[in-house]
Amino acid sequence: MSRLFGSVRARATLAATLVVAVALVAAGTAVLLSLRSNLLGEAGTQAERSARDVATSLAVGTRYPELNLDDDERPVQVVDEAGTLVAATEDLDRITGTGVDAVRPVHGTADDTDDGNPDDDDTDASLEAGEIGEPATVGDGTATIDGDTEDYRFVAVPVETRAGDRLTVYAGAPLSAEHGAVNTALTVMLIGFPLLLAVVAWVTWLVTRRALRPVEGIRREMAAITASEDLARRVPVPGTHDEVARLASTTNETLAALESSVERQRRFVADASHELRSPIASLRTQLEVAAAHPELLDLDGAVEDTVRLQRLAADLLLLARLDAGERPADGRVDLAALAREAAGGRAGVSVRVGDEGPVGVAGSRGQLGRVLANLLDNAQRHARSAVEVSVRRDGDAAVVAVADDGEGVPAADRERIFERFVRLDAARSRDDGGAGLGLAIARDVAVRHGGTLTVHDAPAGGALFELRLPGARA
């Protein structure tokens, strides 16, 4: 059961069915209440009409025995001002809801000639008819007429006869039509609503299965990719141009980025192993020779290989931290002072700082110092005679430019030189050219600090490396 409702398809079907069920219950309740209200209003209108007919007869002087009260469906009571029943429907056995429980009138026989109604012989024909008051709904009750008991809605109409008697006419209209209509509607709802909910659940189940079919295809392909470890595979992209299609496209983009990252990592490990092999092999050879012939020990060469190995290990460690997403320290660094420090003691290197004074940026002093050192090492390696460093502000950015007067960098290689373990001069020895990590480290550090590192043509004809970083807030 938990596995069934753990699927999106089952939850969507359940949610849709519950929403429709709540809507149907609310709508059905509103319909039943509206239907009942309308039917009760209709019954009240019928009861008022019956009461007005009797009140009209009383108002014009009709005697109690002569009132037309023989309707078997509408109970009528006529009550005087003292609350005495003076007329009622024939065969009325019991009544509730009018406030008058009597069913046998005090004046109800044809032999009574002085029953409170004016006699035609004793009444002046010029007397005007009495007045009929505003009707009022009394409420619901029951009445038994000739042995049949039903529910009724009662209405009271006050009337004053032309003889001055104040009477109240109670008349009822049956509620059987209201009960029948409400019960019929309720029966239809109790039968129809479950069928409608079953249809909604079935349709939702089919629609969600069709909608989630591409998702299942994506899941199966991702499982196959995980099992085969083949990152070159891609998940199918449906042609629906909806959220599922965008999910598939994003998944493929993620797979492509992951494939590129893994491939880059593999190349990095292979290149690092290759670069480490050379100084380790050289150092081992020197140590083995020294072990057999101490007098042949090349101490300077061993120290040089050790230093080179140490620098390469430091570069690899820094690149590993950058790849791991290490955030630079949140400090304030003066690029002008850092440039002077990096250029100190280097022959043929001049530093020029703009008139703005200190040029501050936010970041890691150690990493930014490493960037400037790598740029200066690269410039000195390729310069003929001089290297110039300039530091300035450019709007909200801080710019450091390192220019040399060497041969420059061909336009086709200006992005390639920032790749790891890349050397443009294949004939250059490893000892002179380094491992090809300096510019890659410099660009990675610049990007981690929210900046850029690009290469252009220098005014003197060589290469101009431009480091642009966001300026620090005061």
Q: Which residues have a Cβ under 8 Å from the Cβ of 391 and sit 6 or more positions away?
A: 335, 336, 339, 351, 352, 353, 354, 359, 398, 399, 400
Nearest to 445 by CA among 342, 389, 378, 369: 369
Output the pLDDT for position 422: 77
> What are φ and ψ of residue 284, in 5° steps?
-65, -40
**What pLDDT score does 354 carry?**
64
Q: How far is residue 351's CA from residue 355's CA, in Å, rounded to a whole number?
A: 13
Contact predicate 384/406, CB 8 Å: yes
Task: Write down the pLDDT at residue 452.
Answer: 94
For position 269, what pLDDT does the model report? 77
pLDDT for 356? 64
Residue tagged 């820094």 (tokens): 318
DSSP per-residue codes, 267-296? HHHHHHHHHHHHHHHHHHHHHHHHHH-GGG
The residues with which 169 forms a beta bridge, in sequence order, are 78, 157
Task: Give the helix/strand (H/E) hosting 334.
Answer: strand 331-334
Distance CA 217, CA 355 (A): 63
**Burial call 217-236: b when 16+ CB within 10 Å, e when fewer:** bbeebeeebeeeeebeebbe
Question: Which phi and psi (to 5°) does residue 132 adopt?
Answer: -110, 130
Q: Residue with structure tokens 């209509």?
A: 181
Q: Residues for the chain: how many in total?
A: 474
Comparing CA positions, the residue from 148, 137, 159 lying closest to residue 37 is 137
Contact 224, 233 (CB under 8 A): yes
pLDDT given at position 327: 74
- Please name the residues in contact with 374: beta carbons below 8 A apart, sequence gap of 6 or more: 438, 439, 441, 442
Please report, in tens digits, the pLDDT of each residue of the chain (474 residues total). Answer: 545 555 788 888 899 999 999 999 999 999 999 999 999 999 999 999 999 999 999 988 888 888 888 776 789 999 998 889 999 998 889 999 998 989 888 754 433 434 444 444 444 444 566 788 898 888 899 999 988 899 999 999 999 988 888 999 999 999 988 889 999 999 999 999 999 999 999 999 998 888 888 888 888 889 998 898 888 888 888 888 888 888 889 999 999 988 888 887 787 777 777 777 777 887 788 788 778 878 777 777 778 778 878 877 888 888 777 777 777 777 889 998 998 888 887 887 787 776 567 888 998 888 999 899 999 988 988 888 888 999 998 888 999 999 998 888 998 888 989 888 777 654 344 445 466 788 988 999 999 999 999 999 988 788 999 999 998 765
What's the confidence (pLDDT) of residue 116?
44
**Does residue 437 contact residue 366 with C-beta atoms inside 8 Å?**
no
- Secondary structure percentages of the chain, helix, strand, coil, to 5: 50, 20, 30
List all residues 6 or more positions away from 279 whose beta carbon is below 8 Å from its beta carbon.
Answer: 305, 306, 308, 309, 312
Q: How far is CA 379 from CA 351, 385, 402, 433, 474, in A?
A: 13, 10, 7, 12, 32
- Nearest-angstrom CA–CA distance, 70 and 62: 15
Q: What is the pLDDT of residue 31?
A: 93
Q: Do residues 72 and 165 lie in contact, with contact meaning Cβ atoms separated by under 8 Å?
A: no
Cα 114 to Cα 107, 111, 119, 121, 404: the distances in Å are 9, 9, 8, 12, 138
The token duo for 420 is 């790891």
Give the amino acid at 96.
T
What Å distances lie between residue 217 and 234, 236, 240, 244, CA to CA?
11, 7, 14, 11
> Residue for token digits 């009022």?
136
Question: Could you say which DSSP state residue 103 is in?
Answer: -
Torsion 46-50-55-60 (CA) sign:
positive
| Stated pTM of the model | 0.51
Q: How far apart (Å, rounded) are the C-alpha atoms in residues 36 and 38?
A: 5
pLDDT of residue 184: 92
Contact at 8 Å (CB) between 403 and 388?
yes
CA distances from 463 to 375, 400, 418 (A): 11, 14, 14
